[in-house]
Amino acid sequence: MAEKKPNIKQDILFRVRVLYAVFILAGILVAARLVWVQFFSPSVGRNAEVLERNIFRTVELPAHRGAILARGGEPLAVSVFRYQATFDFAAEGFASAERFYKETDSLAKCLAGFFSREDAARNGYRYLSAADYRKIFRDNYEARTRRRAVKIFPREVTLDEWRMMKDRFPILNGNMGVTYGSEQVDKRIYPYGDNLARQVVGSVRDSSCSGIERIYDDRLTGRAGRTVQQQIANGFWARVGDADNIDPEDGCDVVTTLDAGLQQMADARLRRQLVEKQASFGVAIVMETATGNVLAMVNLGAEGERRGGRYSEYYNHAVATSLTPGSTFKLTNTIILTEDAGFTQQNSYDTEHSPQLQRGKSSRRVGQADVTDSHDAGKETGGVVTLVDGFAHSSNIYFAKAIYETYRNNPTRYREQLQRLRTDDYVGLQAFGEVKGEISDAYSDAFRLPRQGFGYEVTLPAIHTATIFNAVANGGRMVSPRVIDRIDRGGVTVETMPVRTLVERVCSPRSLDIVRECMEAAAARTSNIFKDLPCEFGCKTGTAHITSRFITSCRQDDRKIGTGDKYYLGSIGTYFPADKPKYTVFVSICKESTGYNDYFGIGLSGPVAADIMQYLYANDPSLHAAVESSPMPHAPKSIKGGSMWQAQKVASRFASHLSVEQGGEWCTAKVDEGGNASLTGMPDAADTVPDVRGMGLKDAIYVLESCGLEVSFKGAGRVTQQSVKCGTPLQNAHGKIVLTLER
């Protein structure tokens, strides 16, 4: 029987079918596994999330904080970028230990020199020597697990400093490859100093500060962005493109009404006065009359163990310290008396002047209050004083009688008038910590009502008193103090703060004329303090005995103050020019008396106000009379001799005609009545004394000292006489010559 041959074709088909079945089964298993991993396996999903989180991260990009600017555009607070280097000690560039130690040794010396002891003391960090830096580099490099993001600068550096380091310092200049990264930090700085206008500007480093930094924080901060970053090395990340990336939106700029130069000047002048008088605290406010713009607001208080040393802006006394105002409150009472009671300049009261004054004081009984005049009002009129004289002499007795006798039968009326002038209300700076003024309950009170006449039984912050002075200067219109002018974004104004009227008219034009006459009469009695101010002004001074507590950081003030303590508030309010007021200045200083009458407002705060007013006058061209041009040309009456080139340049520009004789380096100059100038060159005579008459001092000294003479002089102007005649041999001058100068 023949053997059956195997069917090769069937065998192959069988094997293919088996193989297909295996593949199909494997595919089904793989698909099932994928479904399990994708939808049901918690561990796989968790591991994938961890892996992705370790490679990618989403970070917030902070917005660049907006600037706080003075009205002239000067930055009072601004954010700038600072830079910090982070070393990757596991970088490939550091593979050679020998080269690493060599380069880091040089870098350590550079860093120790740059971050010097002086820089450490100035910026408040611990100084590191070159050896300290070498140890930091060595310890991190030799560690078993090399750290890959180590900060090496003791402080962040500016952009200019960072560029210099990258250009000059080894390793940072890239000579060992990519071995470090850099961190960019948005840092807040105050170009005019942390202490200038601190209570207005504020500080982002001080959460308790009530300044603009906090009030407008949402506008300054802007809107943060976000970005996706990928890890490129341990501790180093790079930004990657992603649809979720959002660029940050920088914050707005807040433009204030402050004048940077004026703020600096007022701060320096008030600080000097506080140190000299050993005062507790002081306030200086400058307002622009028509708008209420606060051009300067200085708050300085004593710190440390004793007064008279350091002063800083740690508390906003101008708006948050409410004290008895004293005689500056007589301005408010004068408005009330003239407007509500119909007083004129001639309304008079008998102050019961007595020639037997005790140390310049005269006490009288008004109602149930004993009232004392510190000034000798009514000396020449038998004690009878008019409203203008009572205001100018600051007579407490006059105003105590005027208020008491006018309103004792209707004290409610008086209180209503005070409220009409917002004495017990805000003036618009609540965001800066403003407190209300307070009025004592004077109903049927024969003690408090007379005392309110001269500024007691009422407490006010300085900004309230400045606002009422500004209302008088502003034609009777009381406007709110304005600190913020506008909000800008990218140089474009997005919001302007309006001028806000508090009281449309505090008094009628008739009453305003009387009030201003009183203030100008008071100004006439302060001519010794304001003698250098070349324009008329109005003012009122005030002095008050303080018995309430206030805030300073001085140990001497940190206690309850009572009637037995000799603390006084000396203040002055002014406006100028008198005919068209443009500025209001208010200064108040609180101090403990250390001598007889060392606390009166005129001597305590007057000098500060006078210097501020002189600064304003000198820097405001609108206050100066215009110089009218003349159709006829003007020629100089004389020209100083000296340098031929300089004299010729001046004469050719201003003289009617110029002639030059005997040219040379030096010359004498003459001008005739027609304005014609002639310059005559000086002959070169090295062995004789030259003629320097008619020269300016600088040129004369140069010429004579070039001849070997020792020069002394007296007077000012041009040289009119010389002690050794010209042409005298130098050897006969004995090496000395005296010049006489006259204008």
Residue 558: φ, ψ to 5°: -80, 65
Encode pLDDT of 478-511 as tens digits.
Answer: 999 999 999 999 889 999 999 999 999 999 999 9
Confidence band for 47, pLDDT divided at 50, 70 and 90: low
Confidence band for 419, pLDDT divided at 50, 70 and 90: very high
Beta strands 583-592 and 281-288 are antiparallel
**Residues for the chain: how many in total?**
743
221 and 163 Cβ atoms separated by less than 8 Å = no
Give residues with Cβ within 8 angstroms of 406, minimum separation 6.
Answer: 337, 341, 414
Q: What is residue 731's predicted lDDT score, i.e. its pLDDT? A: 82
pLDDT reading at 356 higher than 50? no
Q: What is residue 400's predicted lDDT score, i.e. its pLDDT? A: 95
Q: What is residue 378's predicted lDDT score, i.e. its pLDDT? A: 75
pLDDT reading at 416 higher than 60? yes
Average pLDDT over residues 575-593: 96
Handedness of CA 362, 366, 371, 377 (dihedral sign): negative
Least confident of 220-234, 256-270, 503-517: 220-234
Name the range with the highest mean pLDDT among 165-174, 427-436, 638-647: 427-436
Give residues with Cβ within 8 angstroms of 214, minimum separation 6.
Answer: 202, 207
Name the range with the highest mean pLDDT among 243-257, 283-297, 589-603: 283-297
Encode pLDDT of 92-102 as tens digits.
Answer: 788 888 898 99
Task: Output the six-digit token pair for 612.
Answer: 């501020």
**Cβ density class 22-38: b for 16+ within 10 Å, e for less:** eeeeeeeeeeeeeeeee
Q: What is residue 554's predicted lDDT score, i.e. its pLDDT? A: 87
* Residue 34 DSSP SS3: helix
How far is Cα 68 from Cα 498, in angstroms, rounded to an integer?
18
Model's pTM, two decimal places? Answer: 0.76
591 and 603 Cβ atoms separated by less than 8 Å = no
How far is Cα 351 from Cα 335, in angstroms, rounded to an integer?
21
Least confident of 150-159, 267-276, 459-468, 576-585: 150-159
Q: What is residue 705's predicted lDDT score, i.e. its pLDDT? A: 87
* Residue 507 DSSP SS3: coil
Least confident of 4-8, 63-67, 367-371, 733-737: 4-8
Q: Between 413 and 144, whose confidence is greater?
A: 413
Describe the crossing of helices 606-619 and 260-277 by its angle, rounded to 10 degrees: 160
Q: Between 661 and 371, whose confidence is greater?
A: 371
Q: What is residue 54's predicted lDDT score, i.e. its pLDDT? A: 57
Q: What is residue 326's predicted lDDT score, i.e. its pLDDT? A: 94
Encode pLDDT of 420-447 as tens digits.
Answer: 999 999 999 999 999 999 998 755 588 9
Q: What is residue 43's predicted lDDT score, i.e. its pLDDT? A: 63
Encode pLDDT of 657-684 as tens digits.
Answer: 888 887 678 888 888 877 888 888 887 7
Least confident of 72-86, 302-316, 466-480, 667-681: 667-681
Q: Which one, of 540, 563, 522, 543, lies nearest residue 326 by Cα? A: 543
How far is Cα 556 from Cα 565, in angstroms, rounded to an integer?
12
Q: What is the DSSP string of 493-523?
A: EEEEPPP-EEES-SS-HHHHHHHHHHHHHHH
Q: Which one, of 590, 18, 5, lies nearest residue 307 by Cα? A: 590
* Residue 308 DSSP SS3: coil
Average pLDDT over residues 631-639: 73
Least confident of 171-180, 256-265, 401-410, 582-591: 171-180
Give residues with Cβ within 8 angstroms of 48, minimum separation 6.
Answer: none
Q: What is residue 355's predicted lDDT score, i.e. its pLDDT? A: 47
Strand pairing partners for 256? 484
684 and 663 Cβ atoms separated by less than 8 Å = no
Average pLDDT over residues 344-353: 88
Q: Which one, of 441, 467, 426, lies nearest residue 286 by Cα? A: 467
* Residue 695 DSSP SS3: strand
742 and 718 Cβ atoms separated by less than 8 Å = yes
Q: Between 670 and 277, whose confidence is greater?
A: 277
pLDDT reading at 292 higher than 80? yes
Name the range with the highest mean pLDDT among 39-48, 92-101, 340-349, 706-715: 340-349
Q: What is residue 209's predicted lDDT score, i.e. its pLDDT? A: 61
How far is Cα 486 from Cα 257, in angstroms, rounded to an integer?
9
Domains of the chain, earliest start first: 40-74+192-254 (3.90.1310.10), 80-190 (no CATH), 263-622 (3.40.710.10), 642-742 (no CATH)
Q: What is the DSSP string of 559-578?
A: S---TTS-EEEEEEEEEESS
> What proportion of the chain, given as a percentage, has pLDDT over 70?
90
Q: Which one, of 141, 143, 148, 155, lies nearest residue 178 by Cα? A: 148
Average pLDDT over residues 309-318: 92
Residue with tokens 């009456």: 637
Confidence band for 361, pLDDT divided at 50, 70 and 90: low
Average pLDDT over residues 588-592: 95
Residue type, 519: M
Q: What is residue 643's predicted lDDT score, i.e. its pLDDT? A: 83
Confidence band for 189, pLDDT divided at 50, 70 and 90: confident
Encode pLDDT of 532-563 as tens digits.
Answer: 899 999 999 999 999 888 888 888 888 888 87
Average pLDDT, the chain: 86
Q: What is the DSSP string of 614-651?
A: HHHHHH-GGGSPPPPP-SS----S---BEEHHHHHHHH
How far is Cα 536 from Cα 524, in angstroms, rounded to an integer?
9
Q: Between 53 and 291, whose confidence is greater?
A: 291
Handedness of CA 499, 503, 504, 510 (dihedral sign): negative
How far is Cα 471 from Cα 473, in angstroms, rounded to an integer?
5
How far is Cα 528 from Cα 532, in angstroms, rounded to an integer?
9
Confidence band for 195, pLDDT divided at 50, 70 and 90: confident
Task: Output the six-digit token pair for 225.
Answer: 């962005």
